[in-house]
A and B are shown apart, each in its own frame.
Chain A
Amino acid sequence: MNAPHELPLHAEGVATQENYVGQSVPRSGAKKLLEGRGTYLDDLRLPRLVHVVFFRSPHAHAVIKHLDLSQARKQPGVVAVFDGHEVAKFCTPWVGVLGHLKGIRSAPQFAIAPERACWQGEAVAAVVAQTRRQAEDALDHVMADWDLLPVVTDMEASLAGDVVIHPDLGDNKCFSRELITENFEAEFAKADVVVEKVYEFSRHTGVTNEPRGILADYNPAENLLTVYQGTQTPNMMQDIFSRHLGIPESNVRVICKDVGGSFGIKVHVYPDEMATAAISVMLKRPVKFSADRIESFLTDIHAREHKVKIKLACTHQGDIIAFDMNDLTGIGPYSVYPRTSGIEGNQVVNLTGGPYKHKHYKAKLDVVFTNKNVTCQYRAVGHPIAMAITEGIVDEAARKIGMDPAEFRRRNLIADDAYPYTFPSGVKFEKLSHHQCLDQLMTLMDYKGLRQEQADLRAQGISRGIGLAAMIEVTNPSPAFYGVGGARISAQDGATIRLDPAGMVNVLVSVTEQGQGTEAVFTQIAATAVGVKVENVRVITGDTAITPYGGGTWASRGAGIGGEAVLQAGKVLRKHILDVAAAILKVEAATLDLVNGVVVDKLSGQEQMPLSEVGRVAYFRPDTLPMNFQSELTVTRHYTPREYGFTFTNGIQASYVEVDTETGFVKLLKHWCVEDCGTIINPMLVDEQIRGGIVQGIGGAMFEECMYSEDGQLLNGSMADYLVPMAGEMPDMVIGHVQTPTKTSELGAKGAGEAGTAGAPGAVMNAINDALAPLNANVSVQPFTPQRVLAALGKI
């Protein structure tokens, strides 16, 4: 077990530095959000600000035959109206491909489509006006003639290629991958039992409470572009604005204020946001784009549209021999930039079967273009599919051989002492704790008791189900995720920590905050590392002009990577503070300690001076210090994970449901999750991340579905028709932990933000199928609506 910091030697009874790591400290720094005093994107105002709205294609696939903007330009309040050609002069197109996804292809995408719209909602003109409402009024006066093109929305039809969206590419394949371990066919043939199923996952989307937004402010006098954006990765956007708008990198400043939820939605490059930045350059004034909810449904990235056939081969005794998986996924007409829309399917290939110790694996992936909205990484990227198909087929196997599903998992989970471990897909696990987590879960949920309750109620005609889902989760990614493919996406992060004269500690960190409590976690680490009280630490994130250069927030990396940078910087600052104090006191630094903001004698604990005194002398009276002494009360450290491509975590979830077999309605009675994310810095925040993630996963499993007509019209793009989880239908969730710190950092923290979403759909599906099994019914198409349950039961 790593020691997150060195505790000072002390005599008994003497005060020690508060160790905030592991404490559920409330987020006092976020209190403003409870008082209506946050600053979200749409709250921002600048002088001469104008608003942009977009004329969006009503057709899923059409050539712009003629676009008449003349009438729109004359409308009250309108400042300018632009088409794709005009904006293209200021913003170059992009292609969403990366080198490490071999063979991935996409077509160039422009900020505003100049010639052809490829999905319903794609912007083909921009109207800029004094107010949003005037801009919307003017939209009615944009005249467009279209030449309709054939539309392909069905994945299988797309793969067949009768309608090719980008003729230059020849077919609709964005990315394909095949993987097969040695001797696979021979080993698979040894199976006593083979179970096979097709699982379908409907595309759904993030529905962040705060829609996307951007405020771009170009100052021609300085050739300086300042962009306010709720992005997860300000440095990545800085690079992209720079390269595509032709402005030097250091002349682009990206600032993140408060963000109303992101979950991956706001980590991608959106054409309408690029257009907004370009228009600011064109008009030489601030321009704001604030997506409304309808636009969000049409254009925020969608995700998770998959049809997967999976086979599991095992022995009579229940030892898994192999998985064989074939995944077809439909993305939009473009691979999203810069992270590509091939990653989600790639993760399904990498992670299927993940918790188990089989050696043989075959996988095939096809990622195809369709004329629906674009898709890309969304919380837990690929994991909800990989874990659901794995855990689903595992339950099928257990059922087939008549073994209790917990027992089946016990038999097959990778042993806790088997690490480091290389998985058949090539991913490496540092150290996981599947069995410890399973043990804890069994106790936490009283598995035996629930099984008895289930049996008792079944006798009364009540159908309850218990579903388990073991999972692994990618966190703390190294450059293996994107950097190696040529993306200018940083996998390292930095923290600059500074003592202010009055004794406050300021920390600038390159990881960003979207509500998960990143800043709070850093105050705790910094306070502990430096030796002050947590209320005397302030964290600043999200400003490329001020914070260190780094990767930002994605793939559950904030605590693990950013936290380590904060820890290292904090430790060094502590040393430098004590060096100053030692110089003031004319003693050896080794005899001093910093405890809760006070410099003390290490052995006796006697107070020597407050931190503010160190600050006073260092900043205002260095003339009183030795001649060759320079105070260094600002320290920067960076950190990037090196040994492992990804630091995997593991966990296991359980769902308890009751199925009304007459109506098909499923009631979620309770949910459990035992998770191992290494060192936990703030248990309350981790638990809440897991709960929020579980409910988001339940959303995809039970409610959420972007419904498209055959001709590519989004049918349910409003909050009334697209069903997000609300409080009335959600269960209470019990969370437990195992802590296996990673040795790749001193902090030992792995990531926790996505695990809830990774395992929830599998657990819920397995619970429903456990309830339906005695009735010979089974559901395999998400979301598990009453209609799908009724169909499975043969009632309709």
Chain B
Amino acid sequence: MKSPEFSYLKAQSLAEVFSALQTHGDTAQILAGGQSLLAMLNLRMANPKILIDISGLESLKGIQQTGDVVRIGALTTHYEVLSSSLVQKHVPLLAQAVPYVAHLAIRNKGTIGGSLALGDPAAEYPAVALALNATLVIQSASGERRVKAIDFFLSLYRTAVQAHEVLIAVEFPVATSNQRFVFSELARRKGDYAMVGMALAISLEGQTIRDASLAFMAMDDKPILAPHAMKAMVGQPINQQTIANAQKGLDADLHPAGDLLANAATKKHLSRVLLSRALMQAGATHV
């Protein structure tokens, strides 16, 4: 299928982007890596009047660590995230997730900002951002605002980014030595969207789980936390009882609709299996 017609603007500055967004409203679409948007255009599933190509904006690129925060520019490609020693060292949950993202050629162009701004519930980054309660940095003509991940993903393909705004960066907390992270995903084939996936971040005090953050992919129309399961883990050691309690908590947390790959019962079952394996893995890496 061939894309419908649209206009194109290669933005030279953020100001230009905001001006164009002001002019065109929601008939404009931001083009970053294009790995999702251009597919939709080719399939005639999107029909924007104008594409605003932000891929040349250098200020949106790069990975820096400042204190206890790793800031990743929205235009950082998956390949760059994958090859970043900063990410490997300081945001291990993200490092675990990137290899699951699509395929080699897509990773060379797709961007973290694009993935987060799309907010596909079956994608990897949104769940990681939620589990780490990352900060999404959004900019508009009137300035910058910062939104925590928990407030960012609103509904299917709807995030806190409004029509006149651009997601410019995401900030992840630097991992501490008492934290354990497990990202896991079940997909039919390598690189596919998740059938079920989860991102787990716990902090340990001795043998006890002090904090737990657990986010799921492909279980709702957006990435979601599992507060009942999280509550069942806090203050507990990692053992079979805690795992069982956490799995039970998932019953209250997860109400998936089925999809083509798996019905609700399958997804719920798999979420329990993933959680159990993740906790055992987290426990096993306990020093």
A and B in contact, CB less than 8 Å: yes
**Which chain A residue lies CB-closest to B265?**
A796
Taking CB atoms, residues of chain B closer than 8 Å to A795 are: 269
Interface members, chain A 219-246 (any B CB < 8 Å): none
List 8 A-B residue pairs with CB atoms under 8 Å apart, sorted by A's residue number. A136-B2, A294-B43, A720-B193, A723-B189, A729-B190, A785-B261, A786-B186, A786-B188
Residue A663 at the chain B interface, CB threshold 8 Å: yes
Which listed residue (B5, B195, B260, B273) contacts A662, Cβ 8 A?
A: B273
Q: Are A137 and B1 in contact (CB under 8 A)?
A: no
Interface flags for B147-188 (1: CB within 8 Å of A; 0: not) read 000000000000000000000000000000000000000101
CA distance A665 to B1 in the complex (A): 34
Residue A203 at the chain B interface, CB threshold 8 Å: no
CA distance A132 to B186 in the complex (A): 39
Given contacts A707-B260, A718-B43, A786-B266, contact A726 B2 (CB under 8 A): no
Taking CB atoms, residues of chain A closer than 8 Å to B44 are: 136
Residue B4 at the chain A interface, CB threshold 8 Å: yes
Interface members, chain A 118-167 (any B CB < 8 Å): 132-133, 136-137
CA distance A703 to B195 in the complex (A): 14
CA distance A132 to B269 in the complex (A): 46
Interface flags for A754-796 (1: CB within 8 Å of B; 0: not) read 0000000000000000000000000000000111001000011
Residue A634 at the chain B interface, CB threshold 8 Å: no
**Which chain B residue lies CB-closest to A131?**
B2
Q: Are A703 and B188 in contact (CB under 8 A)?
A: yes
Q: Closest approach, in angstroms, between the C-beta of A38 and any C-beta of chain B?
A: 21
**Which chain B residue lies CB-closest to A292?**
B1
Q: Closest approach, in angstroms, between the C-beta of A461 and any C-beta of chain B?
A: 14
CA distance A716 to B260 in the complex (A): 8
Residue A33 at the chain B interface, CB threshold 8 Å: no
Taking CB atoms, residues of chain B closer than 8 Å to A716 are: 260
7 smallest A-B Cβ distances: which pairs?
A728-B190, A133-B2, A796-B265, A787-B266, A662-B273, A292-B1, A796-B269
Q: Are B2 and A665 in contact (CB under 8 A)?
A: no
Residue B15 at the chain A interface, CB threshold 8 Å: no
**Which chain A residue lies CB-closest to B270?**
A663
How many residues in A have their beta carbons less than 8 Å from beta carbons of B? Answer: 28
Taking CB atoms, residues of chain A closer than 8 Å to B193 are: 720
Which listed residue (A137, A664, A729, A787) contacts B263, Cβ 8 A?
A: A787
Q: Closest approach, in angstroms, between the C-beta of B257 and any C-beta of chain A?
A: 14
A contact set with B: CB distance below 8 Å: 132-133, 136-137, 292, 294, 662-665, 703, 707, 715-716, 718, 720-721, 723, 725-726, 728-729, 785-787, 790, 795-796
**Which chain B residue lies CB-closest to A725?**
B189
How many residues in B have their beta carbons less than 8 Å from beta carbons of A? Answer: 24
Taking CB atoms, residues of chain A closer than 8 Å to B190 are: 726, 728-729
Q: Are A715 and B266 in contact (CB under 8 A)?
A: no
Taking CB atoms, residues of chain B closer than 8 Å to A725 are: 189
Given contacts A136-B2, A786-B195, A796-B269, contact A729 B189 (CB under 8 A): yes
Interface flags for B1-39 (1: CB within 8 Å of A; 0: not) read 111110000000000000000000000000000000000
Given contacts A294-B43, A663-B273, A723-B188, contact A786 B262 (CB under 8 A): yes
Q: Closest approach, in angstroms, between the C-beta of B157 and any C-beta of chain A?
A: 15
Q: Are B1 and A294 in contact (CB under 8 A)?
A: yes
Q: Closest approach, in angstroms, between the C-beta of A13 and any C-beta of chain B?
A: 55
B contact set with A: CB distance below 8 Å: 1-5, 43-44, 186, 188-193, 195, 260-263, 265-266, 269-270, 273
Taking CB atoms, residues of chain A closer than 8 Å to B5 are: 137
**Which chain A residue lies CB-closest to B47?**
A140
**Which chain A residue lies CB-closest to B272?**
A662
Taking CB atoms, residues of chain A closer than 8 Å to B43 are: 294, 718
Q: Closest approach, in angstroms, between the C-beta of A432 and any C-beta of chain B?
A: 36
CA distance A34 to B190 in the complex (A): 26
**Which chain B residue lies CB-closest to A139?**
B44
Q: Closest approach, in angstroms, between the C-beta of B110 and any C-beta of chain A?
A: 14
Q: Closest approach, in angstroms, between the C-beta of B106 and any C-beta of chain A?
A: 12
CA distance A740 to B255 in the complex (A): 59
Taking CB atoms, residues of chain B closer than 8 Å to A721 are: 260
Q: Closest approach, in angstroms, between the C-beta of A290 and any C-beta of chain B?
A: 11
Q: Are B1 and A726 in contact (CB under 8 A)?
A: no
Taking CB atoms, residues of chain B closer than 8 Å to A665 are: 186
**Which chain B residue lies CB-closest to A133?**
B2
Q: Closest approach, in angstroms, between the C-beta of A466 and any C-beta of chain B?
A: 23
17 more contacts with CB within 8 A, not counting A728-B191, A787-B261, are: A136-B4, A137-B4, A294-B1, A662-B273, A663-B273, A664-B266, A665-B186, A703-B189, A707-B260, A723-B188, A729-B189, A729-B190, A785-B261, A787-B263, A796-B263, A796-B266, A796-B269
Given contacts A728-B190, A790-B269, A796-B269, contact A136 B1 (CB under 8 A): yes
Taking CB atoms, residues of chain A closer than 8 Å to B260 are: 707, 715-716, 721
Q: Closest approach, in angstroms, between the C-beta of A549 and any C-beta of chain B?
A: 38
Taking CB atoms, residues of chain B closer than 8 Å to A728 are: 189-191
Q: Closest approach, in angstroms, between the C-beta of A142 and any C-beta of chain B?
A: 14
